[in-house]
Structure 1
Amino acid sequence: MTLPPLPDMILEPMVRAALMEDLGTMGDITTRTVIPQGMTHTAHLRAREGGVVSGMQIARIAFLLIDPSVAVRTLAGDGDRIAEGEVLMEIHGAAAAILSAERVALNFAGRLSGIATLTAAHVAETTGTRARITCTRKTTPGLRLAEKQAVLHGGGFNHRFSLSDAILIKDNHIAAAGGIRPVLRAVRANASHMMRVEIEVDRLDQLAEVLDEGGADVVLLDNMDTATLREAVSMAAGRVVLEASGNMRLGRIAEVAATGVDYISSGSLTHSARTLDLGLDF
């Protein structure tokens, strides 16, 4: 999925933090010990397996933060499908700078490409349906922005980025507030007219109560089996957006999409994605 890149300045703080963690208090002592000052080299970031790439912008930032004079040529952009053996990036410049940024660049690119690849596999299961695949807030602390970008690169969509993005009433909110009707009435009384509202239900009688009370834009259908999801779609009849969530493993996506839900959210896109195997070779 081709998307305009974010400004580098938004991504730089997380890359800088990762470099600081890796460089420690004394910098790259191995490279300083064995690589002569002034030595230049060309390195290639290469895919060791196929998938969907993400993190190329971040990898480029990592190299340039170490040495702005390094020349980075990106050959596969974020969102591109890549094949095993394909060269994704060429880096030319001070060998010491390339070596010092290598691990951080690969950590980001491999992790994010894994998320994009897993997301693309989920999206492929929705072909011919209206369902969209979306992520959750189950992200690595500090890396949410990058991981949610990777979901977009895989063809998915983003759920809220933070608690301040939208009102999402979960089961514990309902329990604490005394029920579905009290929380929806509180939303109508207190929330901004600019704020979208989603509420979680796990039974059809709860869905009926939400539809009767009104006040929700989206209903999250939590941990429902496929037959119940199908019935929920029929009950809602297009009055609210429906999001299916809970136990949304890859092998189940096609049947859930076929029920007619609008969105399928899965935390596994970000918390369980396998790192794509990428390598850097001089």
Structure 2
Amino acid sequence: MLTPQIIDTVVRAALLEDAPWGDLTSELLIPETAYATARLIAREPGVFSGGAVFTAAMTATDETIRTELRVRDGERFEAGDVLAVVAGPARSVLQAERVGLNLVQRMSGIATLTAQYVGLVSHTGARIVDTRKTTPGLRAFERHAVRSGGGHNHRFSLSDAVMAKDNHLAVLTAQSGLSVTDALLAVRAQLSHTTHLEVEVDRIDQIEPVLAARVDTIMLDNFTVDQLREGVALVAGRAIVEASGNVNLTTVRSIAETGVDVISVGALTHSVRSLDLGLDVDVDGTRADAGAVAP
């Protein structure tokens, strides 16, 4: 999902927002001929994500800037570790600093939080997945960060799969006059064999009528742990079972231990804290060539 085209579009829009008419401070204070070496430093431990994005932010201000990544997406790091080294014209490095940091800090924050969830359920067969509760315009970035943390992605957009929630079913059955089972079977008949059908339920008694429609995934929404265990037993392998609602770092282990296949966690993207990373810049004076990226 995180293609070079998507990265370039977002990064250039962010730079345009941050410096619509250039970086007035750097242009006044920093000599045009000054070169700089900058180190991306971790202020706290975490899981890295966004290397290509950080690099693109630097290059977008000046194609001569070189970035050497010291860690790969998905790798853990400790406080004080050097994550990347940048070398190039000082004005351009300083102009790109905030945009590059904003994006890599948020992506690494998501990766780090996701890794915590994944670690808590690693003894089970449950997958941790994200939701569509992403920052508008940054979905590909945030979904990539979830994968960096060992998680998985739900449907990317409304166009990717059929996911019928309670409001959909209320309108569908009221308009058609059909039972939930018959209404879903009519939907199923219109789908290609490659299109996934997921249906949300919020009560135990809804499970059998939904399963009778041969759905691919059944979402048990806001079920208690005991209800999830009962629901998994009722489904008995006839569909993928997804748990949603009331999922946090305190509850996720017990939810996974009920035997559900998937746990969707909106907090991975909508409530995440950006990781504390910093860019330490050393201005190297006036050099005709930045030379090799310094250690």
Match of 2:44 in 1: 49
Distance 1:82 1:273 in 2: 18
Counterpart residue type for residue 195 of structure 1: T
Relative contact order (alpha carbons < 8 A, sep ≥ 6): 1 or 2 greater? Answer: 2
Match of 1:66 in 2: 61
Counterpart residue type for residue 269 of structure 1: L
Instruction: Quote the sequence identity (%).
Output: 49
Offset at 1:143? 0.2
Contact persistence 2:61–2:92 (CA under 8 A): yes
What does 1:99-110 correspond to in 2, within 5 Å? 99-110=94-105
Choose the corresponding residue for 1:84, options 79, 82, 87.
Answer: 79
Counterpart residue type for residue 18 of structure 2: D
Distance 1:257 1:16 in 2: 41
Contact persistence 2:54–2:101 (CA under 8 A): yes
Offset at 1:182? 4.2
**Partner SS state of residue 251, structure 2:** helix
Indicate how the Cα distance of structure 1 residues 183 and 89 shifts in structure 2: closer, same or farther if over 3 A, else same. farther
Alpha-carbon deviations, 1:46-72, whole Å to 9, x = none? Answer: 100001011121010000011111111
Distance 1:47 1:113 in 2: 10
Distance 1:214 1:181 in 2: 5
Match of 1:209 in 2: 209
Distance 2:183 2:96 in 1: 50
**Partner SS state of residue 37, structure 2:** strand
What does 1:181-196 correspond to in 2, within 5 Å? 181-196=181-196
Distance 1:182 1:81 in 2: 50
Offset at 1:180? 2.3
Normalising by structure 1, what TM-score?
0.96
Give the gaps of 5 or more residues in structure 1.
Answer: none
Task: Give the stretch that moved more between structures: 174-183 or 151-160.
Answer: 174-183
Match of 2:285 in 1: none
Counterpart residue type for residue 41 of structure 2: R
Distance 1:127 1:189 in 2: 37
Offset at 1:145? 0.4
Residue 200 of structure 2 is aligned to residue 200 of structure 1: yes
Distance 1:193 1:187 in 2: 12
Distance 1:220 1:115 in 2: 24
Distance 2:210 2:134 in 1: 29
What does 1:136-215 correspond to in 2, within 5 Å? 136-178=131-173, 180-211=180-211, 213-215=212-214
Task: Give the stretch that moved more between structures: 186-195 or 154-163.
Answer: 186-195
Alpha-carbon deviations, 1:100-143, whole Å to 9, x = none? Answer: 00000000011111100000000011021000000000000000
Distance 1:191 1:101 in 2: 46
Match of 2:272 in 1: 273
Contact persistence 1:74–1:89 (CA under 8 A): yes
Task: Give the stretch that moved more between structures: 187-196 or 49-58.
Answer: 187-196
Counterpart residue type for residue 15 of structure 2: L
Alpha-carbon deviations, 1:87-106, whole Å to 9, x = none? Answer: 10100010001000000000
Distance 1:136 1:161 in 2: 8
Contact persistence 2:68–2:85 (CA under 8 A): yes
Counterpart residue type for residue 237 of structure 2: G
Match of 2:292 in 1: none
Offset at 1:6? 4.6
Normalising by structure 2, what TM-score?
0.91
Match of 1:23 in 2: 19
Match of 2:233 in 1: 234
Offset at 1:214? 2.4
Offset at 1:8? 2.0
Counterpart residue type for residue 97 of structure 1: S
Offset at 1:185? 2.0
Distance 2:186 2:148 in 1: 37
Contact persistence 2:2–2:144 (CA under 8 A): no
Contact persistence 1:187–1:215 (CA under 8 A): no
**Partner SS state of residue 200, structure 1:** strand
Offset at 1:270? 0.2
Match of 1:114 in 2: 109
